[in-house]
Amino acid sequence: MNTTTTTAAASEPAAPGKRKKALTAIAAVVVVAGLGLAAYEWLVASHYEETDNAYVQGNLVQITPQIGGTVMAILADDTDRVQAGQPLVQLDPADGRVALEQAEAQLAQTVRQVRTLYANNGALAAQVSLRDADVVRARTEIGRAQSEMARANDDLNRRQSLSGNGAVSREELHHAQTTLANTKSALAAAEAGVQSAQAAAAAAREQLASNQSMTEGTSVDQHPSVLAAAAKVREAWLATQRAALPAPVSGYVARRSVQLGQRVAAGTPLMSVVPLDQLWVDANFKEVQLRNIRIGQPVKLTADVYGKKVEYKGEVSGLGVGTGAAFALLPAQNATGNWIKVVQRVPVRITLDPQQLTANPLRVGLSMDVTVDVTHKDGRTLAEAPRSAPLAATAVYAADARGADEQVRRVIAANVGPAVRGQAPVARAPVRAAAAQTAQAAH
């Protein structure tokens, strides 16, 4: 009995010592863990900004018709791979062909009308020369009439001087007076003829000048009327070519809504093409995280679809100029009612490596985990210079314009005569010089 009591009493002082040692060990572990966490935060975590509010984005290139028409064929469906320039939808080209034939006929008619203008220049110039010759002939008639009147006047004066002594009969004197009166009438008629010839010559020159104003300084193929008709041909030609809707870029078809036999209007979305080699990530960081993010910083990304085994490398290419709430369809009105502060987020654009996208394709809208290395903070937060190259461009529509120009040249060449195909511009100077010479000769 005494032995048991003594043993229990001896063990009681040892229990507080063990408890103290345990508490000390736990405190040491907590202190060491706190120091380790602080060291990790200072040395590692402070150099990175992370977010899981990030999504893959890309260009959704809509396929829309430039003309209206009825769908005759659908050449691609959702998930299909298409190349730039490959036809996707075919519209009925019948209306466009009719309009092209009408435009070609109008162009041909216009070319022939312009040819007539050039041909009329020569005929009108000959008419001017003829009218100038009429003026010279009329002035010659005036000279002859003046000579006849002078001779008749002399005859009358001589007979009047002899009529007093009876050497000239009254009938002969009356005949001389009648002759003088006739020569005066002939002179007046000749003077009127000169005025009429001068008026006709002036009218011919004006008509020639008017016709030359329609042709001077240009050739048949560069005449304004021909250019206007050629523009109609180009418009009709483009309409026929636009009956086939090509893919502007290479990618994959998505959101096809067009159906066979559907009557579509210009601008109606029919389908989309998504180039999966031109994707980027929009990471929505909290506003308190933006203080260390700069353009050009390296980024590591992982996609939920592949997990942690596939890591993408990217780069910060730009920071948004506003929060998501600022650009929302119905932005929050914090100036009214009760206000609760909500941490805002700003989209940060991150470019991806095209080679990694080829090896491990992503889809638009996938979730991403983003980690930005913010060790170097000497970059910019906003772009300072405009973009030096187009963001996106396509050349699939350039061949249409070349084909239209070739069609115009063919129609013009078929309707321009050999005498005026390369005819030099006609100037007014020779006609004006001829008119001046005629005026000097008249005076």
Quote the pLDDT of residue 179.
Answer: 75
Instruction: Determine the pLDDT at residue 428.
Output: 41
Give tens-digit pLDDT for 200-247: 777 777 776 776 666 777 777 888 888 899 999 999 998 999 999 999
Residue 371: exposure state from Cβ atoms within 10 A (0-12, 13-18, ≥19): middle
Tokens of 393: 């461009």
Return the pLDDT at 403.
81
According to the model, what pLDDT value does residue 163 have? 63
- 10 Å Cβ neighbour count for 314? 22
Domains and CATH numbers, the chain: 61-93+238-273 (2.40.50.100), 96-219+400-442 (1.10.287)
* 201 close to 439: Cβ distance less than 8 angstroms: no
Rounded CA separation 443/439 (Å): 6
Q: What's residue 167's pLDDT? A: 60
- What residues have CB less than 8 Å from 380, skipping those under 6 apart? 294, 295, 296
Q: Which residues does residue 51 pair with via DSSP β-bridges, in sequence order?
A: 370
At 64 the pLDDT is 95
| Tokens coding 362 | 């992503």
pLDDT of residue 164: 60
CA-nearest of 175, 176, 187 to 153 is 176
- Residue 75 carries which DSSP code? -
Q: Per residue in 370-386, pLDDT tens? A: 999 988 888 888 888 88
- The amino acid at 18: K
Residue pair 117/419 in contact by the 8 Å Cβ criterion: no
- CA 44 to the chain's CA centroid: 52
Q: Which of 274, 267, 272, 265 is nearest to 71 (CA)?
A: 265
d(CA 235, CA 101): 12
Give the DSSP H or E segment for 310. strand 307-319
What's the pLDDT at 275?
Answer: 94
DSSP state of 322: S
- d(C-alpha 21, C-alpha 159), whole Å: 174
pLDDT at 427: 41
In the chain, the amino acid numbered 16 is: P
How far apart CA 273 and CA 199 sit, in angstroms, is 73
Residue type, 371: T
Low-confidence ranges of the chain (pLDDT < 70): 1-15, 39-46, 131, 138, 155-156, 158-173, 176, 180, 187, 190, 194, 208, 211-214, 336-337, 399-400, 417-443
